[in-house]
Amino acid sequence: MAVHIRLRRMGKKKQPFYRIVAADHRRARDGRFIEILGTYNPMTVPAKVTLLEDKVTKWLNEGAEPSDTVSTLFTQIGFTEKYLKLKKGEDVSAIEIRTEITERRKKTKGMKKAVAAEAEAKKAKAEEAPAKVATTESAPAEEAAHEEKAAPAEETAPAVEADSKKEDKE
């Protein structure tokens, strides 16, 4: 039996709360599970994770595989580092598992800064646009003046060509 450590969704609609469980990989996401290993609440700021380290360690030693999301959570709270050192036989008493995940919030703030910078760039382009519009408005007047000057030259050019044709015929 292949056991996976994964999230089991609980809570209300649009208010997710997850249990970290050990379950047979063939079972449904919210179906029957073997054991509860902890919880994850993404709705709090910062997100909170509680973990029963001894049970998780037991299941990992027995060959259970964490899902991608659970693996990321373990890394963010520092459990992966602690488990790997424990597996090597190193002292892990100094390593503490965090109960809050703040990395996700930092990425969100970084994205907000990027969006704000992009908005400022658009404002700067918008301010430059009226200056360009003013130059393009004067440009048609200049083009019209050039066309008027070019028009008489075009009228005289056919006359010259006509004269040259008359000379060719004679």
For residue 158, pLDDT beyond 80:
no
- Region 151-168: mean pLDDT is 53
For residue 144, pLDDT beyond 90:
no
User: Which phi and psi (to 5°) does residue 6 adopt?
Assistant: -145, 175
The region of weakest confidence among 36-40, 115-119, 136-140 is 136-140
> How do residues 35-46 score in pLDDT, each as one tens digit?
999 999 999 888
- Domains, the chain, with CATH or none: 3-100 (3.30.1320.10)
Q: pLDDT above 70 covers what percent of the chain?
A: 67
What pLDDT, on a 0 to 100 scale, did the predictor assign at position 150? 54
pTM, two decimals, is 0.56
